[in-house]
Homo-oligomer: A and B are copies of this chain.
Amino acid sequence: MSVRSGARYSMPGMMETVLNVGLNDESVAGLAMQAGGDERFAWDSYRRLIQMFGKTVCEVPGEEFEHALDDAKRARGTVNDLDLDAADLRALVDAYKKIFAKHAGREFPQDAREQMDLAIRAVFDSWHAERAVLYRRQERIPADLGTAVSVVAMVFGNLGPDSGTGVAFTRDPASGTQGIYGDYLANAQGEDVVAGIRNTIPLQELERLDKRSYDQLLGIMSTLENHYRDLCDIEFTIERGKLWMLQTRVGKRTAAAAFIIAGQLVDEGLIDLDEAILRVNGAQLGQLMFPRFDLSDEPKPLAKGVGASPGAAVGKAVFDAASAIEMAKSGEAVILVRRETNPDDLAGMIAAQGILTSRGGKTSHAAVVARGMGKTCVSGADALEVDTRKKKFTVDGTTIVEGDVISIDGTTGRVYVGEVPVQPSEVVRYFEGDLDADQEGVDPLVSAVHRIMAHADATRRLRVRTNADTGQDAARARRFGAEGIGLCRTEHMFLGERRELVERLILARTEGERQEALDALLPLQRADFVEIFEAMDGLPVTVRLIDPPLHEFLPSLEELAVSVAVAHERGENAGKAEALLAAVRRMHEQNPMLGLRGVRLGLVIPGLFAMQVRAIAEAAAECAARGGSPHPEIMVPLVGAVQELETVRAEAERIIADTGAGEVSIGTMIEVPRAALTSGQIAEAAEFFSFGTNDLTQMAWGFSRDDVEGAFFWRYIELGIFGISPFESIDRDGVGRLVRIAVDEGRVARPDLKVGVCGEHGGDPESVHFFHEVGLDYVSCSPFRVPIARLEAGRASVETAVASDSR
């Protein structure tokens, strides 16, 4: 008999293992008789049952059973379970029962009915397991929903040579080619196949062993494929010549295979292109865009962990944050290796190329923080014995010390010794235009991506723009399919050599001094915009007026205070530093994120926004005069009240008219909750809205990304407070509600309002679907994410069509 939890409500932490019951000291003899007198089989089954039951129903530590099994094999001088005979296994059953009694505080139950009741109870109890509770909390699944338990008869694949068990794919999981793919192991149960101890045979050979079952299996596989119209993965058992299907599901596949298979299925007429784009997703496309390790030399992985944050990173192993920072400073690429990370490791993680941990999964601190930083990470490589004090780790006798080069693959979770060569992504080369997808002999992956992207572009309603601050980025994003710039930040234009001008602007004591600094900045800004308008000629370019507080362009208060104090101590003159310190102290803010920035700065520092608007308008006029077609849009940041926008707009309109630039639309970021809440008013003064979902998330939740991602997000994810950082994927209930309000009420006030998003959520697959649903006109994201957004926008359109068809 086998007991399993109801699949419908299965969730992490719920009992998902199939649990066998029904054997006891007496019935084991009956099983042996059933098995044609095979006592070995009967005792082995009984042993397995005690182990599984003990572990999952009575929380007996599994490794104790393993140790006992190892001892038995060692006594017999073998490593293969099959070398243990019936007497060995019978002795093992006795040992197992002792282990059971020791930990469960009771004898192993002999009543089959009691075993079943306990197993059923354990499944029901798993509804209250901590992980299940956290998962429900996080997903807002009602706690009184309850779960179900299925009780089914068992079949045995280990009843002799006419029995066996196997796994199969309905087509090649790597290429999608139709055929027979799978493995079979005669006289074995499922665990034996998974354990990999005994060598399986290719599935094709089953035809020779048991033609009837083989033919029947092929028939079922074809039925399943026609039903799912997709690659299926199958588990089956043959019990004395009778085929039983245990389980099937749509088969997992690599990102590359997903694209190739989708194309294959279209070619075979099993699915259409609409369905094909639903078979792949942006996360997979993203994986294909990272550089990969060139594995043509077939390097042997040292260990395998969880692919927690994709990418291919190579560097010298370091074992603490301080060393990571120090070595990174001297230009070395490093991989930070820790048992697990915590907030103290943050600076080290920033300094490293990649992070490798021996503990924790996809939601560990290391994984969450690395994904937030876009940094390669392999977590939970549990074969590693990490000794941070001795600055080394050991795996299977291989020792890596500080300074040894390792390579980690954040997609597959594999860890290699030495430098594995990295090769650029073929898919990126295709997007860059270096590969022609229609050419003979092109990588089938490129050809599949090409077809699917073309269909996504034909299908999607959302436009896709890019966030780019330079002509170079803009040109690259345009090759990646960007249809304009959704966010051109002007902050970097105040850095580098221009920092000195900004310092003069900030320290100006008179209107004249300030205006002088602004006048010097004007031609530099104008040249920046000319470059960008040219790269995006014919397409809209949204320029955001300066957003961060001015003191961000000055040195840090702490450093200045220390250098002044030290100079005083030495009796040295610290005149200039002192003046700067006074300015920094005057401008110091407790919470710069909530201080004098964005439109506030523009309204308080006379001439600053005016200079930027003039630079934009003059740049547009210059491009147009040369025969170009610039489409500038001026975006005012951090507006919370329509009055702010009206004030800036009045001045900007005068300047634009003055420069003789053509049409320049003026709009605003919606990044302050109040802007969304009063969007009907704000739309009266805005020709477009662009959601700054990063700030909007910060303010709606009341936490700043810088301060929280390392400090407590990992803990929140651990506690099930949320499943994914709201900075990664948009929080539909809270931030999303603000977005809906603003779109709806903004359009009531101004029906032709253009609405987009320019936060990094614009390139997040889940979020793109949300933005499609609420009816945005476009999303904007970093150049690298433009193809991902295009694909997801297409998928969202198809999903909407499917959903409305099924209504």
Contacts and interface: CB of A to CB of B under 8 A. Distances in A.
A700 interface: yes
A12 to B, nearest CB: 15
Interface centre among A557, A592, A677, A722 (most CB of B within 10 A): A677
Contacts of A343: 586
A594 B594 contact: yes
A638 interface: yes
A530 to B, nearest CB: 32
A190 to B, nearest CB: 37
Contacts of A715: 603-604
Contacts of A805: none
A395 to B, nearest CB: 30
Nearest to A697: B674
Given A566-B569, A733-B677, A701 B672 contact: yes
A82 to B, nearest CB: 48
A638 to B, nearest CB: 6
A592 B591 contact: yes
A565 B642 CA distance: 48
A714 to B, nearest CB: 10
Interface in A675-730: 677-678, 681, 695, 698-704, 706-708, 711-712, 715-716, 719-722
Contact of A138 (B643, B700, B704, B722): B643
B593 A592 contact: no
A428 to B, nearest CB: 34
A363 to B, nearest CB: 15
B594 A733 contact: no
Contacts of A737: 677-678
A224 to B, nearest CB: 39
A561 interface: yes
A411 to B, nearest CB: 30
Contact of A558 (B561, B569, B643): B561
A229 interface: no
A760 interface: no
A75 interface: no
A73 to B, nearest CB: 41
A646 interface: yes
A593 B594 CA distance: 9
Nearest to A714: B604
Contacts of A700: 640, 672-674, 677, 699
Interface string A541-576: 000000000000000011001100110011000000
A507 to B, nearest CB: 14
A55 interface: no
Contacts of A716: 600, 603
A644 interface: yes
Which bucket holds chain A's interface residue count? 35 or more
B643 A702 contact: no
Nearest to A589: B707
Nearest to A641: B721
Contacts of A167: none
Contact of A734 (B140, B561, B644, B677): B677
A590 interface: yes
A677 B715 CA distance: 23
A669 to B, nearest CB: 11
A595 interface: yes
A123 interface: no
B590 A593 contact: yes
A239 B540 CA distance: 71
A738 interface: yes
Total identical chains: 2
A786 to B, nearest CB: 29
B721 A701 contact: no
Interface string A441-470: 000000000000000000000000000000
A313 to B, nearest CB: 26
Nearest to A595: B707
A277 interface: no
A641 B722 contact: yes
B640 A678 contact: no
Given A565-B562, A673-B734, A712-B600, A701 B590 contact: no
Nearest to A585: B558
Contacts of A711: 589, 595-596, 604
A570 B566 CA distance: 10
Given A604-B715, A699-B702, A716-B603, A674 B641 contact: no
A558 B562 CA distance: 8
A566 B646 CA distance: 51
Interface string A730-769: 0101110110000000000000000000000000000000
A646 B735 CA distance: 21
A664 B169 CA distance: 59
A590 B704 contact: yes
Contacts of A721: 603, 641, 643-644, 647
A253 interface: no
Nearest to A734: B674
A371 interface: no
A744 to B, nearest CB: 14
A59 interface: no
A306 B604 CA distance: 25
Contacts of A600: 703, 708, 712, 716
A643 B557 CA distance: 38
Nearest to A731: B674
A607 to B, nearest CB: 14
A344 interface: yes
11 contacts: A590-B592, A591-B592, A594-B702, A594-B703, A596-B712, A603-B715, A604-B711, A640-B701, A672-B700, A674-B733, A678-B733
Given A590-B704, A594-B708, 9 more contacts: A562-B565, A565-B566, A596-B711, A600-B708, A603-B712, A643-B721, A644-B721, A673-B702, A674-B700
